[in-house]
Structure 1
Amino acid sequence: MILPESKSEFRFRCDLYDDPFTPTFSLNEVADYLRTKLPTVQIFTHGELVAEKLSKAQGDEREALLQRLAIGFAKARVHDPFKPVGEREPLYGEIAYERRRLATRGEAKGVVYDGFMVQELLAGLFDREELNRWSLPLVFTNQLLATFDESDHRYHLRTVILGYPAIVSTTGLVEAPAKPREFYLAREQFRAMGLDAISPVLAAELRDRCLLPNDERLTEVAKGYALQAVFYALFGEAFCNDKDCRLYNAHWQEEMLHAQLNGAYDLCPRHEGMLQNLGSKQ
């Protein structure tokens, strides 16, 4: 827990890195929300993380960094949801795909990555001044991230990877929390007909119960998950049992939408009190 003796000593900062591939995501809106909730925290915005780091490297240094990242992402690919990613050597084609994606700033489509391996890979892009207990990089990405759960021995998609850096998956906000049963039944029916998407009519019917791709509510939902990441860095806890609190650890889309959009309050009284006391004299 980061609690200084006085406000004048409080110097925590959070650097937000953009996801430019999700059209309905606004980094600036998330930053403004965090500034409102955390007035004593310095909030800075940046472009997409890997692109920024590559742009600062030149010549052989840039080529080495590009190759290291390409191999790292290729190794982090989840091929079997029931087996944790090990030390498997990635295929040449996988490395080439990742290198091309990174070099051309392309999207990562249809690939699931081990979230902790990606976190470790991205951590290597920061120096000690950028990555310490007083400084949290918060990376937004459209990559699908998953972590292996030892309790049921399988990977599960995640919305957020807590730690340094913290990572919020904008695609994970749509895909990770479980959707209503009707969605999955309809999706299988449409796939059987060779179609990639459910009908607009069904999408409209499910709108109040789940996020859908390119959903205009995505940024509002992302604000709560960004706050979870910062709460974890500041206080050592990120989740709440109160279903009306934006820190609620939702497992279903309907729970997530309620907590982020329709809760009785922004934060529960206990977590709101923690923010009010942040930086005050202990």
Structure 2
Amino acid sequence: MPDHVTLYRAPTTTADADEIAEWLDPRIDATVDVEPRLLGSLADDDLAEAFAASRVLSPYERETGNTMVGIVRYEERTLEAPERGGGVIYDGFDVQDALRRRLQSPMEELHIPLLDRRLGTWGTHDARWHKRVAVLGKPSLVSVPGLYEAPAKPEAYYKTKQSHAMMAGDAPPREVLENQVDGEFLVEDDPRTTEALKGYVLAAYHYLETGDAFCDVEGCRLYDAHRQPALLAAQLSEPAFCERHAARYG
């Protein structure tokens, strides 16, 4: 049961950790602090190699990791200057383990870094990697790019992408698709980012407090949405919680 939560900033993103902490603090029975970027403070000689070893190599291959010198150097540069990174997916549980070993926090402390990295977990049911918004546990990782990319976009987005590929022979740039497709979904640097992340940060606390990962009621802030419209309904619509979780966090 955590009695102290530390939320870490992701300065290369639009996520406002201070606003999230203000929202979280009165809802939980724990103190909430905000600290600078976690990966910057933990960047020891081996962390870059740990990230290189956790790289997802293919959507359909379980094996991860490329620790060639050039890749490790890339990870070193990205730890120092995160705005230079992007596009790589990392095994969320491997990253979690690497950070856990460095934090070595007592049971009553919960660390929640907001990350500018893309995280994935292996799906044993379909033998492929899936991007994730959150990897819960100690520490609990919340991926800001995952908020835009993990939940599926409206069907019209994929139909437009397929149609363009058939006509032009390749997929259009993401920015073009986002401008062409009607439908509600989050995009990179979306002004709704901070609001949409609040439920995932609360879920990190909720998981350690109760043992339940997410709520199964659509529309609740603790619902783990697999599609963008459901994510927006859960995080941006009223009521904020289902009846059960409103009694605890409302």
Fold match (TM-score > 0.5): yes
Q: Is the 8 A contact 1:246 1:267 kept in 2?
A: yes
| Alpha-carbon distance in 2 for matches of 1:151, 1:104 | 37
Aligned to 2:5: 14
Aligned to 2:80: 103
Amino acid at match of 2:4: R
Aligned to 2:223: 248
Larger Rg: 1
Amino acid at match of 1:122: L
The within-5 A match list for 1:30-41 is 30-38=20-28, 40-41=29-30
Amino acid at match of 1:47: P
Deviation at 1:17, TM superposition (A): 0.7
Q: Is the 8 A contact 2:55 2:66 kept in 1?
A: no
| Alpha-carbon distance in 2 for matches of 1:145, 1:153 | 16
Q: Percent identity?
A: 33
Amino acid at match of 1:16: L
1:151 aligns with 2:125: yes
1:121 to 98, 102, 106: 98
| Alpha-carbon distance in 2 for matches of 1:196, 1:225 | 25
Amino acid at match of 1:13: H
| Alpha-carbon distance in 2 for matches of 1:53, 1:118 | 12
Identify the structure with bigger relative contact order (alpha carbons < 8 Å, sequence gap 6+).
1
Q: Is the 8 A contact 1:31 1:45 kept in 2?
A: yes
The within-5 A match list for 1:1-282 is 2=1, 12-22=3-13, 24-38=14-28, 40-54=29-43, 65=44, 67-86=45-64, 90-127=67-104, 131-187=105-161, 189=164, 192=170, 195-198=173-176, 201-202=179-180, 205-206=182-183, 209-263=184-238, 265-275=239-249
Deviation at 1:25, TM superposition (A): 1.2
Taking a change above 3 Å as real, the CA distance of residues 231 and 83 of structure 1, as seen in their structure-2 partners, is same
| Alpha-carbon distance in 1 for matches of 2:49, 2:120 | 18
Unaligned runs of 5+ in 2: none
Q: Is the 8 A contact 2:9 2:37 kept in 1?
A: yes
Amino acid at match of 2:72: I
Q: Secondary structure at the match of 2:46?
A: helix
Task: Report how many aligned residue pairs link the two structures.
Answer: 246
Spell out, residue by residue over 1:244-276, the C-alpha distance to the aligned partner (whole angstroms, 9 max, x if none): 21011211100010011114x222221233448
Q: Is the 8 A contact 2:161 2:177 kept in 1?
A: no
| Alpha-carbon distance in 2 for matches of 1:41, 1:162 | 18
